[in-house]
Amino acid sequence: MSAKPYVSLYDPKGPARGLRSLGLFETRFPLATRGSIPGLERIWEKSKDMSWNPKKAIPYATFDQSKYSKEQLDAARLCWSRRAWTEYTGITEVPCMLARLTLDGQMPIHAKFSLAAKIMEEARHCEASVLLADAMGGYIEEPPPGDAIMKMVIAGFRDRMALNPEISPIAGMVAWHIISEGIALDIFAARYKRTDEPVTREVIRLIMQDEVRHVDMGWIFLEHFFPSMSAAEVREIEEVVVDIVENVEMKGFHSMCLLTDSETSVMRQAEAIAGEARLGFCSPEEEHIAFVRSMESIRTRLAKFNIRIPRFPELEKVA
Protein backbone atom coordinates (compact mmCIF):
# COMPACT_ATOMS: atom_id res chain seq x y z
CA MET A 1 0.00 0.00 0.00
CA SER A 2 1.58 3.25 -1.11
CA ALA A 3 1.87 6.15 1.30
CA LYS A 4 -0.48 9.03 0.80
CA PRO A 5 1.16 12.22 -0.47
CA TYR A 6 1.55 14.96 2.12
CA VAL A 7 -1.14 17.61 1.83
CA SER A 8 -0.46 20.87 3.63
CA LEU A 9 -3.23 22.40 5.67
CA TYR A 10 -2.19 25.64 4.03
CA ASP A 11 -2.15 24.35 0.48
CA PRO A 12 -2.69 27.39 -1.77
CA LYS A 13 -5.02 25.25 -3.87
CA GLY A 14 -7.08 24.22 -0.86
CA PRO A 15 -9.70 26.13 1.12
CA ALA A 16 -8.58 29.42 2.67
CA ARG A 17 -7.71 28.95 6.32
CA GLY A 18 -5.12 29.82 8.96
CA LEU A 19 -2.00 31.56 7.71
CA ARG A 20 -3.26 31.38 4.15
CA SER A 21 -5.30 34.48 4.95
CA LEU A 22 -1.95 36.26 5.27
CA GLY A 23 -0.65 34.83 2.05
CA LEU A 24 1.60 32.36 3.87
CA PHE A 25 1.71 28.68 2.97
CA GLU A 26 3.29 25.74 4.71
CA THR A 27 5.93 23.75 2.83
CA ARG A 28 7.33 21.76 5.71
CA PHE A 29 8.43 18.63 3.88
CA PRO A 30 11.06 17.58 3.18
CA LEU A 31 12.05 18.85 6.63
CA ALA A 32 15.80 19.48 6.81
CA THR A 33 16.98 18.73 10.35
CA ARG A 34 20.74 18.73 9.79
CA GLY A 35 22.70 21.85 10.58
CA SER A 36 23.66 23.76 7.45
CA ILE A 37 25.06 26.91 9.09
CA PRO A 38 27.71 26.17 11.76
CA GLY A 39 27.41 29.67 13.23
CA LEU A 40 23.71 29.23 13.95
CA GLU A 41 24.36 25.82 15.45
CA ARG A 42 26.87 27.42 17.83
CA ILE A 43 24.29 30.04 18.82
CA TRP A 44 21.76 27.30 19.57
CA GLU A 45 24.28 25.44 21.73
CA LYS A 46 25.16 28.62 23.63
CA SER A 47 21.50 29.43 24.22
CA LYS A 48 21.15 26.07 25.97
CA ASP A 49 24.37 26.36 27.95
CA MET A 50 23.95 29.99 29.05
CA SER A 51 20.39 29.92 30.37
CA TRP A 52 19.68 31.88 33.57
CA ASN A 53 16.75 32.26 35.93
CA PRO A 54 15.83 35.92 36.61
CA LYS A 55 14.54 35.09 40.10
CA LYS A 56 17.67 33.18 41.15
CA ALA A 57 20.54 34.76 39.21
CA ILE A 58 20.09 38.33 40.47
CA PRO A 59 20.12 39.39 44.18
CA TYR A 60 17.33 41.97 43.99
CA ALA A 61 16.96 42.00 47.78
CA THR A 62 20.42 43.57 48.11
CA PHE A 63 19.37 46.69 46.20
CA ASP A 64 19.80 49.53 48.73
CA GLN A 65 17.09 52.15 48.21
CA SER A 66 18.54 54.33 50.99
CA LYS A 67 21.37 55.42 48.70
CA TYR A 68 19.01 57.22 46.33
CA SER A 69 16.46 60.01 46.51
CA LYS A 70 12.77 59.38 45.87
CA GLU A 71 13.09 61.27 42.59
CA GLN A 72 15.91 59.00 41.45
CA LEU A 73 14.09 55.82 42.49
CA ASP A 74 10.84 56.91 40.83
CA ALA A 75 12.70 57.75 37.63
CA ALA A 76 14.63 54.47 37.62
CA ARG A 77 11.62 52.25 38.30
CA LEU A 78 9.71 54.00 35.52
CA CYS A 79 12.61 53.44 33.13
CA TRP A 80 12.99 49.79 34.06
CA SER A 81 9.25 49.35 33.69
CA ARG A 82 9.67 50.74 30.18
CA ARG A 83 12.41 48.14 29.61
CA ALA A 84 9.88 45.46 30.57
CA TRP A 85 7.35 46.87 28.09
CA THR A 86 9.99 46.84 25.35
CA GLU A 87 11.12 43.30 26.14
CA TYR A 88 7.48 42.20 26.06
CA THR A 89 7.41 43.46 22.48
CA GLY A 90 10.04 40.82 21.72
CA ILE A 91 7.86 38.12 23.26
CA THR A 92 5.16 38.94 20.70
CA GLU A 93 7.51 39.46 17.75
CA VAL A 94 9.65 36.34 17.96
CA PRO A 95 6.82 33.80 17.52
CA CYS A 96 5.67 35.68 14.43
CA MET A 97 9.03 35.31 12.70
CA LEU A 98 9.40 31.77 14.02
CA ALA A 99 6.11 30.89 12.33
CA ARG A 100 7.43 32.30 9.06
CA LEU A 101 10.62 30.23 9.25
CA THR A 102 8.97 27.02 10.38
CA LEU A 103 6.55 27.06 7.45
CA ASP A 104 9.57 26.46 5.22
CA GLY A 105 11.15 23.09 5.88
CA GLN A 106 14.32 24.10 4.07
CA MET A 107 15.08 27.13 6.21
CA PRO A 108 18.11 26.49 8.49
CA ILE A 109 16.91 24.35 11.37
CA HIS A 110 19.16 26.02 13.94
CA ALA A 111 17.71 29.42 13.11
CA LYS A 112 14.34 28.00 14.16
CA PHE A 113 15.80 26.44 17.30
CA SER A 114 17.53 29.70 18.20
CA LEU A 115 14.35 31.73 17.68
CA ALA A 116 12.44 29.26 19.85
CA ALA A 117 15.05 29.84 22.58
CA LYS A 118 14.83 33.58 22.01
CA ILE A 119 11.20 33.58 23.12
CA MET A 120 12.38 32.39 26.55
CA GLU A 121 15.25 34.89 26.51
CA GLU A 122 12.98 37.85 25.80
CA ALA A 123 10.62 36.61 28.51
CA ARG A 124 13.35 36.50 31.14
CA HIS A 125 14.55 39.98 30.10
CA CYS A 126 11.01 41.19 30.70
CA GLU A 127 10.79 39.41 34.06
CA ALA A 128 14.20 40.67 35.19
CA SER A 129 13.20 44.24 34.32
CA VAL A 130 9.95 43.92 36.27
CA LEU A 131 11.75 42.50 39.31
CA LEU A 132 14.36 45.27 39.20
CA ALA A 133 11.63 47.92 38.96
CA ASP A 134 10.00 46.28 42.00
CA ALA A 135 13.28 46.48 43.92
CA MET A 136 13.47 50.19 43.10
CA GLY A 137 10.02 50.86 44.52
CA GLY A 138 7.50 49.15 42.28
CA TYR A 139 6.83 48.15 38.69
CA ILE A 140 4.63 50.56 36.71
CA GLU A 141 2.14 48.87 34.39
CA GLU A 142 1.72 51.50 31.66
CA PRO A 143 3.34 54.64 30.25
CA PRO A 144 2.44 58.07 31.61
CA PRO A 145 -0.70 59.42 29.85
CA GLY A 146 0.10 61.32 26.68
CA ASP A 147 3.80 60.50 26.77
CA ALA A 148 5.45 60.73 23.35
CA ILE A 149 7.10 57.36 23.87
CA MET A 150 3.74 55.58 23.90
CA LYS A 151 3.61 55.51 20.11
CA MET A 152 6.95 53.67 20.10
CA VAL A 153 6.43 51.24 22.99
CA ILE A 154 4.66 48.76 20.74
CA ALA A 155 6.46 49.77 17.56
CA GLY A 156 9.00 47.58 15.96
CA PHE A 157 9.10 44.47 13.92
CA ARG A 158 5.91 42.44 14.17
CA ASP A 159 3.40 44.59 12.35
CA ARG A 160 5.89 46.04 9.89
CA MET A 161 7.32 42.82 8.50
CA ALA A 162 7.15 39.62 10.57
CA LEU A 163 3.77 38.62 9.15
CA ASN A 164 4.03 40.53 5.89
CA PRO A 165 4.23 37.94 3.09
CA GLU A 166 5.65 40.57 0.75
CA ILE A 167 8.80 40.72 2.89
CA SER A 168 11.03 37.67 2.86
CA PRO A 169 12.01 36.06 6.17
CA ILE A 170 15.66 36.64 5.23
CA ALA A 171 15.11 40.39 4.88
CA GLY A 172 13.16 40.42 8.11
CA MET A 173 15.78 38.51 10.06
CA VAL A 174 18.59 40.73 8.80
CA ALA A 175 16.79 44.00 9.52
CA TRP A 176 15.53 42.92 12.92
CA HIS A 177 18.68 41.34 14.31
CA ILE A 178 21.31 43.56 12.74
CA ILE A 179 19.56 46.92 13.10
CA SER A 180 17.21 46.82 16.09
CA GLU A 181 19.07 44.23 18.15
CA GLY A 182 22.44 45.72 17.16
CA ILE A 183 21.49 49.21 18.31
CA ALA A 184 19.95 47.83 21.51
CA LEU A 185 23.16 45.95 22.33
CA ASP A 186 25.39 49.00 21.80
CA ILE A 187 23.16 51.17 23.96
CA PHE A 188 23.14 48.50 26.67
CA ALA A 189 26.94 48.47 26.56
CA ALA A 190 27.05 52.25 27.12
CA ARG A 191 24.58 51.94 30.00
CA TYR A 192 26.54 49.08 31.55
CA LYS A 193 29.70 51.20 31.50
CA ARG A 194 27.84 54.05 33.20
CA THR A 195 26.10 51.91 35.86
CA ASP A 196 27.74 51.29 39.24
CA GLU A 197 24.84 49.86 41.29
CA PRO A 198 25.65 46.09 41.54
CA VAL A 199 22.14 44.63 41.11
CA THR A 200 21.30 46.85 38.15
CA ARG A 201 24.68 46.17 36.59
CA GLU A 202 24.12 42.40 36.82
CA VAL A 203 20.71 42.68 35.14
CA ILE A 204 22.28 44.57 32.25
CA ARG A 205 25.16 42.10 31.99
CA LEU A 206 22.89 39.08 31.76
CA ILE A 207 20.60 40.72 29.20
CA MET A 208 23.61 41.69 27.08
CA GLN A 209 24.84 38.10 27.27
CA ASP A 210 21.73 37.04 25.36
CA GLU A 211 21.62 40.07 23.07
CA VAL A 212 25.07 39.28 21.67
CA ARG A 213 23.67 36.02 20.29
CA HIS A 214 20.61 37.79 18.88
CA VAL A 215 22.80 40.20 16.91
CA ASP A 216 25.06 37.40 15.70
CA MET A 217 22.05 35.60 14.26
CA GLY A 218 21.42 38.46 11.85
CA TRP A 219 24.98 38.66 10.59
CA ILE A 220 25.32 34.88 10.22
CA PHE A 221 22.03 34.76 8.33
CA LEU A 222 23.17 37.48 5.94
CA GLU A 223 26.61 35.98 5.40
CA HIS A 224 25.10 32.58 4.60
CA PHE A 225 22.47 33.71 2.11
CA PHE A 226 24.22 36.69 0.49
CA PRO A 227 26.39 34.75 -2.02
CA SER A 228 23.28 33.24 -3.65
CA MET A 229 21.17 36.42 -3.62
CA SER A 230 20.13 38.32 -6.70
CA ALA A 231 20.58 42.07 -6.90
CA ALA A 232 16.81 42.44 -6.43
CA GLU A 233 16.90 40.39 -3.21
CA VAL A 234 19.75 42.51 -1.85
CA ARG A 235 17.74 45.65 -2.67
CA GLU A 236 14.78 44.20 -0.78
CA ILE A 237 16.92 43.76 2.31
CA GLU A 238 18.18 47.31 1.93
CA GLU A 239 14.63 48.68 1.72
CA VAL A 240 13.57 46.80 4.84
CA VAL A 241 16.72 47.85 6.72
CA VAL A 242 16.20 51.52 5.85
CA ASP A 243 12.53 51.28 6.83
CA ILE A 244 13.45 49.99 10.31
CA VAL A 245 16.09 52.71 10.71
CA GLU A 246 13.87 55.58 9.57
CA ASN A 247 10.51 54.58 10.99
CA VAL A 248 11.42 52.72 14.17
CA GLU A 249 14.92 53.49 15.45
CA MET A 250 15.08 57.14 14.37
CA LYS A 251 11.71 57.68 16.04
CA GLY A 252 13.05 56.73 19.47
CA PHE A 253 12.23 53.04 19.90
CA HIS A 254 15.52 52.18 21.58
CA SER A 255 16.87 55.67 22.21
CA MET A 256 14.57 58.42 23.43
CA CYS A 257 17.28 60.99 22.79
CA LEU A 258 15.94 60.88 19.22
CA LEU A 259 12.52 62.23 20.18
CA THR A 260 12.09 65.76 18.83
CA ASP A 261 12.23 68.74 21.17
CA SER A 262 8.55 69.39 20.51
CA GLU A 263 7.54 65.96 21.87
CA THR A 264 6.59 65.82 25.53
CA SER A 265 8.04 62.83 27.36
CA VAL A 266 8.18 62.15 31.08
CA MET A 267 10.09 59.01 30.14
CA ARG A 268 12.89 61.00 28.52
CA GLN A 269 13.25 63.15 31.63
CA ALA A 270 13.22 60.04 33.81
CA GLU A 271 16.06 58.45 31.82
CA ALA A 272 18.20 61.55 32.34
CA ILE A 273 17.60 61.37 36.11
CA ALA A 274 18.23 57.61 36.25
CA GLY A 275 21.36 58.07 34.16
CA GLU A 276 22.70 60.72 36.52
CA ALA A 277 22.06 58.30 39.42
CA ARG A 278 23.89 55.53 37.52
CA LEU A 279 20.90 53.21 37.79
CA GLY A 280 21.11 51.55 34.39
CA PHE A 281 20.88 54.46 31.96
CA CYS A 282 23.04 57.14 30.33
CA SER A 283 22.83 60.85 29.99
CA PRO A 284 21.08 61.89 26.73
CA GLU A 285 24.48 62.96 25.37
CA GLU A 286 26.13 59.63 26.13
CA GLU A 287 23.24 57.65 24.70
CA HIS A 288 23.20 59.72 21.53
CA ILE A 289 26.90 59.10 21.02
CA ALA A 290 26.33 55.36 21.51
CA PHE A 291 23.48 55.41 18.96
CA VAL A 292 25.52 57.30 16.36
CA ARG A 293 28.52 55.02 16.76
CA SER A 294 26.30 51.95 16.53
CA MET A 295 24.72 53.23 13.31
CA GLU A 296 28.12 54.01 11.82
CA SER A 297 29.47 50.56 12.65
CA ILE A 298 26.39 48.84 11.19
CA ARG A 299 26.44 51.09 8.10
CA THR A 300 30.09 50.28 7.41
CA ARG A 301 29.65 46.55 7.83
CA LEU A 302 26.47 46.36 5.73
CA ALA A 303 28.16 48.28 2.92
CA LYS A 304 30.34 45.21 2.35
CA PHE A 305 27.13 43.41 1.33
CA ASN A 306 26.07 46.28 -0.98
CA ILE A 307 23.41 47.33 1.51
CA ARG A 308 23.45 51.11 1.94
CA ILE A 309 22.00 53.04 4.86
CA PRO A 310 21.67 56.78 4.16
CA ARG A 311 23.14 59.34 6.49
CA PHE A 312 20.85 61.47 8.62
CA PRO A 313 21.63 65.14 9.34
CA GLU A 314 20.32 64.88 12.89
CA LEU A 315 23.01 62.30 13.68
CA GLU A 316 25.92 64.09 12.06
CA LYS A 317 26.15 66.68 14.84
CA VAL A 318 27.98 64.07 16.92
CA ALA A 319 31.51 63.40 15.74
Helix, strand and coil content of the chain, in percent to the nearest 5, comes to 65, 0, 35
pTM as predicted? 0.87
How many Å apart are CA 68 and CA 157, to the nearest integer? 36
- How large is the average pLDDT for residues 21-48? 78
Task: Provide the pLDDT for residue 14.
Answer: 43
Task: Provide the pLDDT for residue 3.
Answer: 36
In this structure, is residue 152 part of a structural domain? yes
Between the two ends of the chain, the Cα-to-Cα distance in Å is 73
* Sequence-distant (≥ 6) Cβ neighbours of residue 288 within 8 angstroms: 255, 257, 258, 318
Whether residue 30 has a cis bond before it, omega within 30° of 0:
yes
How many Å apart are CA 16 and CA 21, to the nearest integer? 6
Higher pLDDT among residues 237 and 251, named by residue? 237
Q: Please determine, for residue 138, whether its predicted confidence score (pLDDT) is greater than 50.
A: yes
In this structure, is residue 18 part of a structural domain? no
How many Å apart are CA 36 and CA 111, to the nearest integer? 10
Q: How confident is the model at residue 5 (pLDDT cuts 50, 70, 90)?
A: very low
In this structure, is residue 15 part of a structural domain? no
> Exposed, middle or buried: residue 142 (CB in 10 Å: 0-12, 13-18, 19+)?
exposed
How many Å apart are CA 110 and CA 113, to the nearest integer? 5
pLDDT above 90 covers a percentage of the chain that reads 59
Q: How confident is the model at residue 24 (pLDDT cuts 50, 70, 90)?
A: low
- How large is the average pLDDT for residues 107-130? 94
- What would the pLDDT profile of 260-296 be if each residue is shown by its tens digit? 766 667 888 999 999 999 999 998 889 999 999 999 9
Task: Provide the pLDDT for residue 191.
Answer: 96
Q: How many separate domains does the chain show?
A: 1
CATH number (domain holding residue 41): 1.10.620.20
Contact 94, 122 (CB under 8 A): yes
In this structure, is residue 283 part of a structural domain? yes
Q: How confident is the model at residue 316 (pLDDT cuts 50, 70, 90)?
A: low
In this structure, is residue 203 part of a structural domain? yes
In this structure, is residue 8 part of a structural domain? no
- What would the pLDDT profile of 144-164 be if each residue is shown by its tens digit? 887 777 766 666 555 667 777
Mean pLDDT of the residues in the chain: 86
Q: How confident is the model at residue 256 (pLDDT cuts 50, 70, 90)?
A: confident
Give the other-Cβ count within 10 Å of 63's Cβ.
Answer: 21
How many Å apart are CA 79 and CA 103, to the nearest integer? 37
Domain range spanning residue 61?
A: 32-315
In this structure, is residue 27 part of a structural domain? no
Task: Provide the pLDDT for residue 6.
Answer: 31
In this structure, is residue 257 part of a structural domain? yes
Contact 255, 187 (CB under 8 A): yes
Contact 290, 256 (CB under 8 A): no
Q: How confident is the model at residue 35 (pLDDT cuts 50, 70, 90)?
A: low
- How large is the average pLDDT for residues 103-123? 91
Q: Can you say whether the dihedral through the CA atoms of 233, 307, 240, 235 is positive or negative?
A: negative
